[in-house]
Structure 1
Amino acid sequence: MLERLTEQAKQAVTASEDAALAMGHDSIGTEHLLLGLTSTPGMASELLREHGIESQQVREETIRLLAEKGVPATGSQAAKDALSSIGIDVAEIQRRADDNFGPGAFRFPRPGFTFTPRTKVIFDRTAQEAQALGHQHIDTGHLLLGLLAEREGVAIHVLSRLGAQTPALHQTVLARVTQQAS
């Protein structure tokens, strides 16, 4: 499915990965996908804004919700510990990279497109939504359709807490995606 993504959709997935990394998470969940969609210009971010959903609100509510659920920001401690056990100091590598290439040049670890099971389901639903509409390419609107069709996951809870009526939002997105293809 990933090979069918438009450039904007690829940017949203990359932004999802960046969100997971910034939050210290080892995999990309629905909340990270939502953050990627809100922070990437395109149909999904436009429609979410029209429904009163802004990227900063999503980020703040995601952090709040995950904290309530006790989801730790691991920062891939297991990988760091494994490297440390063989004498590799990730913090020292970070300091040297920052000194030589500028702050933030080296970020460890990169989630590397490790998706949670629910996010994988969303990608499957996205492909199904696009196929049902007869679309060959998958754009940010299709990704949002897949996310909303799942009706579960952290992203849906975040949207609900921000006052989004997800069935109505789904209908709006479906209408816009259908209209855009015409």
Structure 2
Amino acid sequence: MFDQFTELAKRAVVASQDAALSLGHDFIGTEHILLGLAQTAGTAGEVLREHGVDLAQTRQKVVRLLEESGASATGGQAAKDALASIGIDVAEIQRRADDTFGPGAFTFPRPAYTPHAKTALELTLREAAALGQQRIDTEHILLGLVAEGEGLALAVLTALDVDPAALRASVLNRVTPQAS
């Protein structure tokens, strides 16, 4: 799926994974994708900043809304505990991987995408196709997030007083050829 993504779009996706891991989440939700876009250059990042989306404030809202929803930042402790119960020491595997391949080469557990995040990424492909574009860029990811309509990213935007429809209009205004 990600082979159609531009390098910038891939960086935004990686940034969303990093955001999930840095928050201690063993899942990647739409809120993490929003954080990834907010810290990436490109059309999506520019539009978000124009609408007042600040990375630090967005991160605070994500943490608060996730805590309110009962989502815990376990860092995948349940999976680590399950492996420990059968004699597998994840910390030792991490240490050996870091020694052999460099720091950060091994991350466990790998965060999985939530159903809303998967839908948003699927809609990303549709948004690009609807615009007649072959490559997926950050603006398409933002359009997919907005089109998904139910993920926590929209609750975060609402908490920041950002109108998702206005975001969509701003993106389309930038990427749709204007009639002369």
TM-score between the two structures when normalised by the length of structure 1: 0.87
Query: 2:115 aligns to what?
Result: 117
Amino acid at match of 2:74: T
Matched, 1:69 2:69: yes
Deviations 1:53-90 (A, max 9, x none): 01111111000011111111121122201221122233
Aligned match of 2:83: 83
Alignment partner, residue 156 of structure 1: 154
1:57 aligns with 2:51: no
Matches within 5 A, 1:21-40: 21-40=21-40
Gaps of 5+ in 1: none
Partners in 2 of 1:102 and 1:133 — Cα distance? 41
Give the partner amino acid of 1:171. A
Specify the alignment match of 1:108 in structure 2: 108
In the alignment, the residues of structure 1 paired with residue 42 and residue 145 of structure 2 have an alpha-carbon distance, to the nearest angstrom, of 16
Which string of whole-angstrom CA distances, capped at 9 and with x for unpartnered residues, describes residues 83-136 of structure 1?
Answer: 21122233455567778998766543332xx21111111112111111111000
In the TM superposition, what is the alpha-carbon distance from 1:165 to its structure 2 partner? 1.3
* Partner of residue 144, structure 1: 142
Secondary structure in structure 2 of the residue aligned to 1:8: helix
Map of 2:18 onto structure 1: 18
Between the aligned partners of 2:9 and 2:177, the Cα distance in structure 1 is: 18
Tell me, in whole angstroms, the C-alpha distance in 1 between the residues paired with 2:177 and 2:40. 21
CA distance in 1, matches of 2:26, 2:158: 25
Query: Counterpart of 1:78 in structure 2: which amino acid?
Result: A
Contact 1:142 1:177 in 2 (8 A): no
Q: For residues 136 and 99 of structure 1, what CA distance do their matches in structure 2 show?
A: 40
Asked if 1:127 is matched to 2:125, the reply is yes
CA-atom RMSD in angstroms? 2.2
- Shift in Å at residue 34 of structure 1? 0.4
Runs of 5+ in structure 2 lacking a partner? none
Residue by residue over 1:148-173, the C-alpha shift from the partner in whole angstroms, topping out at 9 and shown as x without a partner, is: 11222100000110010111111111
- The percent of aligned pairs where both chains have the same amino acid is 62
Distance in structure 1 (CA, Å) of the matches to 2:106 and 2:148: 35
Match of 2:7 in 1: 7
Letter of the 1:119 partner, please give it.
A
**What amino acid maps onto 1:130 in structure 2?**
A
Name the amino acid aligned to 1:149: A
Alpha-carbon distance in structure 1 between the residues aligned to 2:122 and 2:104: 33
Cα distance in structure 2, aligned partners of 1:66 and 1:157: 10
**How far off is 1:47 after superposition?**
0.7
- For these two proteins, the number of residue pairs brought into alignment is 178
